[in-house]
Amino acid sequence: MDVRFADRPAAFGHLPRLAATEWIAVGGVGAALGAVLLSPDGIEDGPVLCPFRLLTGLPCPGCGLTRAWVYLAHGQWRDSFLANPFGMVMVALLVALVIAVVTARVRRSAAPDLDRLVRRRWLQVLLGAWLVFAAVRLLVVAT
């Protein structure tokens, strides 16, 4: 099922309707541009933005992704991997999604269906691996 935002306020009537995957692609490109604009110098010294980490002092599965993307955007592969190895994976998935969305737009066909994408076995395995990584990291930090 392709999720569309049919009931929009009149103020947004001039904006094109985007599928959920298109919104994710746009948001991901925005995040990638932010990573390019941020300097890796001092990125480790910035404020903690993660609500889970602020409350518990422990890392959530996404902790380190911003730093990983910033390091990756500036060619610091090792630092990116050490910040969160799934940062590189997410960038690769974002590139694939953007290519699929742009290709669909150029061909004037439907955007990739988010429901179908999340049901793919390889994506579920990847999500499981990410959660295992997060659990192991949580146990290591907590001890």
CA pair distance 65, 80, nearest whole angstrom:
8
Question: 70 vs 3, which has greater pLDDT?
Answer: 70
CA pair distance 134, 48, nearest whole angstrom:
17
**Is residue 101 included in any domain, yes or no?**
yes
Number of folded domains in the chain?
1
**Is residue 115 included in any domain, yes or no?**
yes
Mean pLDDT of the chain: 88
CA-wise closest residue to 135 among 69, 48, 57, 61: 61
**Is residue 43 included in any domain, yes or no?**
yes
**Is residue 8 included in any domain, yes or no?**
no
**Is residue 4 included in any domain, yes or no?**
no
Confidence check: pLDDT of 4 > 70: no
CA-wise closest residue to 82 among 90, 92, 71, 96: 71
Confidence check: pLDDT of 6 > 60: no
Give residue 119's domain range. 17-142
Q: pLDDT per residue over 47-102, tens digit each?
A: 888 898 899 888 888 889 999 999 999 999 999 999 999 999 999 999 999 999 99
**Is residue 57 included in any domain, yes or no?**
yes
> Which of 17-21, 30-34, 36-40 is predicted with the least confidence, judged by mean pLDDT?
17-21
Structure tokens at 35: 């990573």
Q: At what angle do helices 86-106 and 121-142 cross, to 10 degrees?
A: 150
CA pair distance 93, 28, nearest whole angstrom:
10
**Is residue 90 included in any domain, yes or no?**
yes
**Is residue 9 included in any domain, yes or no?**
no
